[in-house]
Amino acid sequence: MNQIGPINIKPQIVKVIASLPGVYVLPYLDWTTFQSNKTALNNDPAYPLNAYPSHDFANGTMQVDPFNPGTHRYPQNIGFSMSELQHAVNIYRKVAAGPDAQYTNRFFNIRGIQTSPKTTPGSVSWGLLTGQITR
């Protein structure tokens, strides 16, 4: 809804939407970002993240990067495009980079917390897709 008759209301709508408090979820952590920030994440005094939260279902020690998962992790031949994952990780990294300095006092980050026994709420385990696709 950008118009009411001949009146363009898009600027007003954008201002209202942008002023609303919201929750933005950043659900997956790519392997490269984890590796680059591993020491800081592990040394967080309150909530250390000492393990990559995305792993293989059958082998929990095998990390699976959602943006570079290898074969048989996403369904093929049903419209999913693996090339879109590169676009997705670029957008993800822009969001994860945080706000401009002038907005940092308005930004609150709530992260999944490490719990005993070394599991991360919100972690993901990935099984392999096998068999033929039937429609």
| pLDDT score recorded for residue 31 | 93
Cβ 60 vs Cβ 22: under 8 Å:
no
Q: 10 Å Cβ neighbour count for 92? A: 19
| pLDDT score recorded for residue 114 | 54
- pTM passes above 0.85: no
Helix (H/G/I), strand (E/B), else coil: 119: strand
More confident residue, 119 or 20: 20
Q: What is the pLDDT of residues 7-54, one digit of tens each?
A: 777 777 767 766 666 555 567 889 998 999 899 888 877 677 878 888
Q: What is the pLDDT of residues 49-91, one digit of tens each?
A: 878 888 999 998 999 999 998 888 888 777 778 888 888 888 8
Cβ 97 vs Cβ 59: under 8 Å:
no
Q: Which residues contact 9 (CB under 8 A, 6 or more apart)?
A: 1, 2, 3
Helix (H/G/I), strand (E/B), else coil: 59: coil
